[in-house]
Amino acid sequence: MLYAADGQHWKLKAHRQVLAAAIGDYLSAFSPDQLTPVRSASSVALADIIWVIEEEWQVWGGWPQRVLPLV
Has residue 8 got a pLDDT over 50? Answer: yes
d(CA 30, CA 48): 10
Residue 18: count of CB within 10 angstroms of its CB: 20
Q: Is the pLDDT of residue 66 over 60?
A: yes
Q: What band does 4 get if pLDDT is binned at 50, 70 and 90?
A: confident
pLDDT at residue 71 above 50?
A: no
Q: In DSSP terms, which residues pair with 58 in a beta bridge?
A: 65
Query: pLDDT tens digits, residue range 9-58?
Result: 777 667 777 788 888 888 998 999 989 999 999 999 999 888 777 666 66
